[in-house]
Structure 1
């Protein structure tokens, strides 16, 4: 116990190291030259726009969090149906989630112009600045996330003196703040960036025949701002809550499996080791001048695979020391890593123009926009097969490896620790994702400041790689969401168990088994959770439907915002003389205002839907209905999210492939057709697809938080 207690401090110490390294990377980046005065001015426009939007978003989110905080106070102190710690932990999760996204976005907006300047002389120099700046987001997310968890665990268990079961079940509900903030960040950021992107593409590229990121396009600055608020701040908040959720669920299930203190701290120690190894992997990323796409991918993969390989070795040592009675858990960790790698490679295959699927989409552009869209949808649908099979085999493998055939509670702990294993390399995995928008903005700066063609060639190479890494990151996020959500569903029953004892005063279930000794299957019998129960079936249907309704709402939100943007860009071209000739500067601010206003307005309803539905279903259909709802949402949203993210990524890179000179190159009919495909894919890959994986986890977290309410007041619990 004492040795384990000391080993537990790996978690907070590694978190602090991550934050220190992130600070050093940030300071070193700021020392780099920003280039010309014109380059600096463009970067300042983007940086100011991104900060202005985030502050407006945080104002709206603060109001929502304030109202939710009051509701949790009522739930905890007046109705006494939840721990009194919940309202405050809810705020801490949301605050650290927002903070990590802000730090990453601030670094990205400062780094893009420095990446542009480095690209004037060296591809390798530009890659290092972009990647290490992206690493600030990765290390900030894992640093703040694990620090938050480890501090709360120490307070509740070591200082307050709560038992392990009580501590870990209370902590399960802590992730809801991070999940709610993540959904606002993802949906709002996605609507912002895609409204600007669609407006810039449809009017600027298709109608006015302007090149990518042309300063004569009024929506160009808003487009670059959107890359930062959506793909940096949004992705950071997204994976922050995945990281938090996986560790919390694994800790709760580790205690439920009978592993005591070792089961509670093992996920934190594994995550802490992953942080240190991610830093080592980040430091190895470099490339040579004139590298092709395949070489650039290998450069990033080198760091990721090195980190994963080291995790394999270190996790075995940790499990053998911390939990020697369950070495099979090591197998579950390895399976989680393998599933993450398979999903990443599958996404890379279906979205990179180095491979056949995306090249076929590019070829189909010769026949027009319709065939591009048909081909992209087909590729996206087919691309769901490998991730789904990988996740299902991963669930089975991690369950069996951890001893689930003999004891289901141990098997569920194996599934949860597999999610921790997958996310243990998040420090470097998220760095490869955040690097993308930095490279994209660097290319935009090069275009807007009329730098020599070779500079844009270098930034385009990095940008194309960024599209692939971003698609891979989204696939990784969605895959981790599936394992995390499944673990949270299992952990939900632990919260139900505590609620039955605390809030209903029960000591045994309907089948005569004492609640303290009851296994998961006993609760399934007690609540009649099976496919013959109409409440479960109704929940399944509602969950499947909700994924599509949520997706439709977010896509329509992008469409409405894009319509306003299109009209504004057309108005400026028609009414402001000299824009297309480069004699008059466009009104960038009006486009930024449209994206900001639309994002803030449109993000509220889809976000609240995911919070309200689990509560209503729970109060009407009880625990069986909630279990059906969560299962239906998990399956449908998981497959739908992969399809949308991969279709969008493939359309984007098909356009990039044509821009290399294939099938007519820029300005050709095939290129115009590919721009239409890319425009359709924009909300797929950057708004709806990534938001769906947060929907999965947020609904699970909400269900955990209101478990006491549902157990006491659920109408059809029996």
Structure 2
């Protein structure tokens, strides 16, 4: 294809991003026009909104200090000639728009929760529509902002370096833009880990004292931690998840653009992932119109409604992808299209695997619920076993996607072309992120709606409808986590390949060494591999410990209020909800520092000691164990949660029974598994690669080897 025609076609990318943001704005205004129910419902929603806003304000203040410090470091490296002058600006904009995507999602979620509860007073379909529209706003903003600013950076840099030959221009552009991804990754880490610590500490504290000790229902307004729990759903599962998947989306596109240069595909290879993402975004918008249900729908019908939109978007993206590859790369490279299909298929299979292991509709979670009859110890043991066994199928799926995308793209004859195929598989998997994230982000809104209905004393049928949506949200959240983990593994592999390509270019420019020695017999590679394999476990330990320490503070505070404020249980006195929100907010900001430092410093320090070969080993080891650990923690946590809900629905004695109390213990253990440590590991394995790419020049210059 002619360069002029391709560049004209690429204007579809920002156009689709603007269409996405415009549709998100339309949905937001439509949600805000809906009724908010009773005065008590509005008051509770305002408290949740105020708490979420206060948390994000404090978090962004803390994070801004980190970004200023990192920008200064990058500016010094740019002044010394290690980086291009645009790198610090790319880093700052990447972090800003990652945070903005999460912030917008959180803002609309805290407006939609009370409207979802109010709509549940009429019908389950209207309630589903409000919650799903809110999730759709999050999905569209995450994808729209990511794609818009990737395309704008591309057009700016392509114009700025237009005098360079294509073979030099493409590597220069993509190496700068990868720093945009590093900023997004850093912000995602702070948002996901900080939000995860907040939400799970509040949830664990509320459950341990409220449900287990005091014997009061979930979301009972007498529980001092109940508002903090609902705030946490927004800052962790909406703002945190939005920033997390924004980073995955951006990282997959940028790494594939970088690999296009090594594959010798020029601007056409760079354009394919951008346009594929744009087509997937438009397909996702169309898919949202297919999400409808009827009154009295059961879980299977509700899930079918959400899947209808996702599957339609996936099919449309697959069709458009064929024309895209044929038009830009030509019939000789149609094998690259098979790579896209492998990513789309892997995304669906990862979601189905997570659903099978975490939904109470299937045997694994039902057996886990049955184990509650013998006490909490067996629930914990069976849950851990379930999580470990659930890693097998996802590994087979991702390994199959890697092999298929590599060889079908032509990796047998051209290694770099095969790596480009792997990158496109990751972009293919994430191309329908707008609607996939919508089905995930809708869950916390439904959960909040149930809490508002309970705290405001709505009729039983209202809570029944919100409970049905909340239970479905647990399944879609588990499916979304499986999707996020699979995409993280593929994106991390593409980023490792981009790191190797970056190092090779620097070595050629320097002329002192010919190539990297990545043999497993190289001691530096093996040492890095072992260090990298340890990182996800250390990272998970730090984040789990942070949740435990903060939950202990919440437990102490809730017990204090029950003890020192007479009349809480009799409803003659109100608990101090703000105190628990403040404890979680302050603790989350303090506890996030150690995991963040680990993720950023590990590749730099390893590189300075072991060289680029040690860093390559580090990235490979972290990706392998991080993928397995994230799957295990997400599925075990999701299964514990749904086993508890299965019992609450009437199985094995129902609410208040000994089985229910045992299941609550399992769910409490699983909360930081599935909502703090597990999802954060996705960001860890990608941020390690991003940092390694940006600091590759420094490592080569100053390494001991």
For normalisation by structure 1, the TM-score amounts to 0.96
Report the CA distance between 1:283 and its aligned residue. Answer: 1.3
Relative to structure 2, which stretch is displaced further, 37-46 or 320-329?
320-329
Alignment match, 2:146: 145
Q: Calculate the aligned-residue CA RMSD, in Å.
A: 0.9
SS at match of 2:534: helix
In the alignment, the residues of structure 2 paired with residue 468 and residue 554 of structure 1 have an alpha-carbon distance, to the nearest angstrom, of 24
Report the CA distance between 1:501 and its aligned residue. Answer: 4.2
Report the CA distance between 1:204 and its aligned residue. Answer: 0.3
Paired residues for 1:587-602 under 5 Å: 587-602=576-591
Of the three residues 378, 394, 400, the one matched with 1:387 is 394
User: 2:306 aligned with 1:304, yes or no?
Assistant: no
Partner deviation per Cα, 1:86-126 (whole Å, 9 max, x = no partner) = 10000000000000000000000000000000001100000
Contact 1:96 1:145 in 2 (8 A): yes
User: 2:380 aligned with 1:373, yes or no?
Assistant: yes
User: 2:74 aligned with 1:67, yes or no?
Assistant: no
Report the CA distance between 1:19 and its aligned residue. Answer: 0.3
Contact 2:41 2:452 in 1 (8 A): yes
User: 2:667 aligned with 1:707, yes or no?
Assistant: no
Contact 1:169 1:494 in 2 (8 A): no
Alignment match, 2:535: 546
Alignment match, 2:679: 690
In the alignment, the residues of structure 1 paired with residue 701 and residue 507 of structure 2 have an alpha-carbon distance, to the nearest angstrom, of 8
Alignment match, 2:59: 57
Contact 1:611 1:698 in 2 (8 A): yes
Of the three residues 237, 258, 267, the one matched with 1:252 is 258
In the alignment, the residues of structure 2 paired with residue 358 and residue 187 of structure 1 have an alpha-carbon distance, to the nearest angstrom, of 27
Partner deviation per Cα, 1:326-372 (whole Å, 9 max, x = no partner) = 11111000000000000000000111111111111111111111111
Alignment match, 2:240: 234
SS at match of 1:403: coil
Report the CA distance between 1:322 and its aligned residue. Answer: 1.0
Q: Which segments of 5 or more consecutive residues in structure 2 lack a partner in the other structure?
A: none
In the alignment, the residues of structure 1 paired with residue 180 and residue 53 of structure 2 have an alpha-carbon distance, to the nearest angstrom, of 27
Alignment match, 1:399: 406
SS at match of 2:671: helix
Report the CA distance between 1:165 and its aligned residue. Answer: 2.1
Partner deviation per Cα, 1:27-52 (whole Å, 9 max, x = no partner) = 00001000000000000000000000
SS at match of 2:394: helix
Alignment match, 1:519: none
Paired residues for 1:244-283 under 5 Å: 244-283=250-289
In the alignment, the residues of structure 1 paired with residue 272 and residue 218 of structure 2 have an alpha-carbon distance, to the nearest angstrom, of 48
User: 2:419 aligned with 1:416, yes or no?
Assistant: no
Alignment match, 1:496: 503
User: 2:188 aligned with 1:186, yes or no?
Assistant: no
In the alignment, the residues of structure 1 paired with residue 86 and residue 387 of structure 2 have an alpha-carbon distance, to the nearest angstrom, of 43
In the alignment, the residues of structure 1 paired with residue 526 and residue 195 of structure 2 have an alpha-carbon distance, to the nearest angstrom, of 34
Paired residues for 1:59-208 under 5 Å: 59-77=61-79, 79-161=80-162, 163-208=169-214
Report the CA distance between 1:448 and its aligned residue. Answer: 0.1
In the alignment, the residues of structure 1 paired with residue 184 and residue 517 of structure 2 have an alpha-carbon distance, to the nearest angstrom, of 32
SS at match of 1:174: helix
SS at match of 2:199: helix
SS at match of 2:196: helix
Report the CA distance between 1:635 and its aligned residue. Answer: 0.2
Of the three residues 45, 48, 62, the one matched with 2:47 is 45
SS at match of 2:217: coil
SS at match of 1:529: coil
SS at match of 1:457: helix
Report the CA distance between 1:252 and its aligned residue. Answer: 1.1
Alignment match, 2:341: 334
4+ residue runs over 6 A deviation? none
In the alignment, the residues of structure 1 paired with residue 347 and residue 432 of structure 2 have an alpha-carbon distance, to the nearest angstrom, of 10
Report the CA distance between 1:172 and its aligned residue. Answer: 1.9
Alignment match, 1:610: 599
In the alignment, the residues of structure 2 paired with residue 52 and residue 144 of structure 1 have an alpha-carbon distance, to the nearest angstrom, of 24
SS at match of 1:530: coil
Contact 2:507 2:513 in 1 (8 A): no
Of the three residues 309, 318, 321, the one matched with 2:324 is 318
Contact 1:541 1:632 in 2 (8 A): yes
In the alignment, the residues of structure 2 paired with residue 308 and residue 509 of structure 1 have an alpha-carbon distance, to the nearest angstrom, of 45
Alignment match, 1:355: 362
In the alignment, the residues of structure 2 paired with residue 156 and residue 498 of structure 1 have an alpha-carbon distance, to the nearest angstrom, of 19
User: 2:443 aligned with 1:442, yes or no?
Assistant: no
User: 2:460 aligned with 1:471, yes or no?
Assistant: no
